[in-house]
Amino acid sequence: MKKETEDGVIYREPYFKSKAKTITHPDMINDLIREAEEEILNKIGDWISEGSTWVIDLILDHYLNIIEYTPLRGSSYIKLPKELQNSMLGLINPKNLDDNECFRWCHVRKLNPEKKIHRG
């Protein structure tokens, strides 16, 4: 960005970015790229429209960072340490019999503390 003043030309290299986007399906990519571009253009527009007389002189770089997100999943029973094996502390740790849905069974137990969990 550059700005002409009475003392000469001032140059700045501001950094504009968009918020991170989560893509769960390939069909979302183009729409989210356009949305990110729109966010950046709006930030540039806001920066130069407030009477600052800054103008775009040169775009030095443009980055697109892509990171694969792998959510954590439960997969097996892990025995709690002795000091935590007390349901009075509010901890429950159901054993997985034939599934990997311990998180779901914890919620079922929380919502129905007096009922036995029957899976089948």
Phi/psi at 99 (5° precision): -145, 175
SS3 55: strand
41-83 tens-digit pLDDT: 999 888 887 667 888 888 888 888 888 877 766 566 778 888 8
pLDDT for residue 51: 67
pLDDT at 33: 92
Structure tokens, 45: 């527009």
- pLDDT above 70 coverage of the chain, percent: 86
CA distance 104 to 73: 11
d(CA 36, CA 38): 5
Handedness of CA 93, 94, 97, 101 (dihedral sign): negative
Domain ranges of the chain: 1-71, 74-120
Residue 31's pLDDT is what? 94
Q: E-assigned strands of the chain?
A: 2-5, 8-11
Structure tokens at 61: 């770089």
Chain segment 78-116, per-residue pLDDT in tens: 788 888 887 777 776 777 667 777 777 777 777 877 766
Cα gap 84→92, rounded to integer Å: 9
